[in-house]
Homo-oligomer: A and B are copies of this chain.
Amino acid sequence: MKLDCSKAADEGFLEDRRDAIERELELVDSQVNEGYGDWRGTVNLPSDDAMLERVRGAEDRLVEPDLVVVCGIGGSNLGTAAVHEAVPERAGAELAFLDTVDPDHTRRVLDRMEEALDDGNEVVVNAVSKSGRTAETLANFKTALHTLESHGSADGSVAVTTSDGSPLWEFADKRGFEKLAIPEKVGGRYSVLSQVGLLPLSLAGVDVEALRQGARKARDRSLELDGPAGRAAAALHDNYERGRSIHDMFVFSKELESLGKWFRQLTAESLGKNGEDGAEGITPLVSVGSVDLHSMQQLYMGGPNNKIHSLISVGSEHSVRIQSVDGLSEGPAEMGQGELMDAIEEGVEETFSEADIPFIEVELENRSEAEVGAFLQHKMIETMVLGRLLGVNAFDQPDVEGYKQATRDILREDGK
C-alpha cells in the first residue's frame, strides 16, 4: 500500500498537528502486546496468535462446510464482507450474509441453505453479536438454526462469536456449540481482524495469516510519526477545518465497494459526533470509479467544494484486452481495460488538481490478503488519530441507542 497526500493539503498541514498526532500514536504504541485493556488494543489483533489458535480450533471441530451463513450486522459483518469481496475468489466455503430482517433477502438465503442441505452438503451458521442481544441478528440466527435443525442435527454446525457471558454465549454453552469470545474493548468497527472476521473468512478460504501479516506491516509503518496514518489524518483534519466535512472514498474497482461500506461505518460511528471544540463530525461517502464519474462527478466538480476524496486504485487480477472492431473506429481499442481505467483515474486526478479539489492517493498493488489487511489496519489507526485531532472519542457511539429503545417499546405495545 502506498499513500500520497501531496495533493490533499498545503505544506505545513503535518507540522501544525505534530503534537496531537504524536500523542495518539504513543498511546496506540503503548498498547502493542498489552492485550485488550484499552480500546486501542485492537492493534494487537494481527499479532494475537492465541486468538488465531482458538479460531483454528473451532474450525477443526466444526464440519467442513460448503456454505457458511453469517448472522451479524454492522461491525459484525461489514469487515467480513469487505475482505471477502475484495480478495480474489479462493477455494473454500461459499459465504452468505443475514444482516437485516428483509424477508425477501432472508428467504433467498434460507432457500440457498435448504438447497445445500437437501444436496447433503454441510452448512455452518455463525452468529456474531458482541452484546449477544442484537435484535436482527438473533432473529436471523433463530430462523437459520430452525432451518438447520429441520434438516438434522445442528451439532458441529454452529459457532457464536460474542462476549463471554452474553445471552448468545450462554445459549451456545448449553447447547455445546462453538464459542469465540470478543474482548470487551474490541468494538465492532475495529473487530474485522478478530474472531469476528477470521472464522468466516478462513472457512471461505481466505488466507487470514497473510491478512494479519499485511496488517502487522501496516501497523509498524502507521505508528511512525511520518507514517501514512498520521499524514492522512492530518490532511483530512486540515480539510475539515477548511469546511470540507465530507470524506469520499472513491474506489476504482467494483470489488472494493464493500471495503468502502466498512470505511463508512468506521468513519460515521467513530467521528460522527460533537467534539470538545464544537467539531461536528465527518460524513463519509463511497464512490465507485468509473461508474460514479457518470453519476456524482457533476456534483464533485460543479457543486460545493466541501469534500475531500481518497482515490483508491488497485492492480487487477485479470487482464482484458479491448478488441478492435472493423467499422467502429470510435472509442478505445487495442489496449487493456486496466490501462483505460488507469488513464481515467489519472484524468480525474488532473481535473481535481486544476480545480483545487483535494485528494489523497492510495495505491494497492493488488487485491491480495496482505494488501487488504494493510489497508484495514492503516484506516483504523488513521481514524484513531483523526478522532484525537477532532477532539472526539473514536471508540464510543453514544447516539445509536435511541431507535433501539423506541423499537422495543413499539413491539411491547403490540404485545410482541
Contact = CB atoms under 8 A, between A and B. Distances in A.
A347 B404 contact: yes
Chain A interface bracket (under 10, 10 to 19, 20 to 34, 35 or more): 35 or more
A104 B143 contact: no
A339 interface: yes
A281 B306 CA distance: 11
Contacts of A339: 414, 416
Contact of A323 (B102, B137, B146, B302): B146
Given A343-B407, A343-B411, A330 B133 contact: yes
B340 A302 contact: no
Interface in A289-318: 289-291, 293-304, 306-307, 316-318
A95 to B, nearest CB: 16
Contact of A331 (B75, B133, B300, B343): B133
Nearest to A274: B302
A291 B100 contact: yes
Interface of A: 73-75, 78, 88, 99-107, 110, 132-139, 142-143, 145-146, 167-168, 171, 174-175, 188, 245-246, 252-255, 261, 264-265, 268-269, 271-274, 280-285, 288-291, 293-304, 306-307, 316-325, 327-341, 343-344, 346-348, 350-351, 354-355, 367, 397-400, 402-411, 414, 416
- The 3 A-B residue pairs with the shortest CB-CB distance, nearest first, are A74-B294, A272-B299, A138-B331
B139 A322 contact: yes
Contacts of A399: 297-298, 301-302
A280 B265 contact: no
A399 B307 CA distance: 16
Given A297-B400, A297-B403, A400-B297, A273 B302 contact: yes
Contacts of A104: 88, 253-255, 316-318, 367
A101 B340 contact: yes
Given A299-B268, A404-B347, A330 B167 contact: yes
A318 B354 CA distance: 52
Contacts of A404: 347
A264 B295 contact: yes
A288 B78 CA distance: 13
A67 to B, nearest CB: 18
A324 B141 CA distance: 10
A411 B331 contact: no
A386 to B, nearest CB: 14
B265 A344 contact: no
B407 A273 contact: no
A325 B146 contact: yes
9 contacts: A74-B291, A102-B337, A136-B340, A143-B320, A175-B327, A297-B400, A302-B399, A350-B406, A355-B402
Contacts of A340: 101, 135-136, 139, 411
Contacts of A132: 330
B297 A335 contact: no
A74 B104 CA distance: 27
A102 B254 contact: yes
Given A73-B294, A135-B332, A320 B103 contact: yes
Nearest to A131: B330
Contacts of A280: 303-304
Contacts of A136: 290, 340, 344
Given A132-B330, A407-B347, A410-B343, A288 B100 contact: yes
A170 to B, nearest CB: 8
A295 B322 contact: no
A135 B331 contact: yes
A312 to B, nearest CB: 13
Given A295-B78, A295-B261, A351 B406 contact: yes
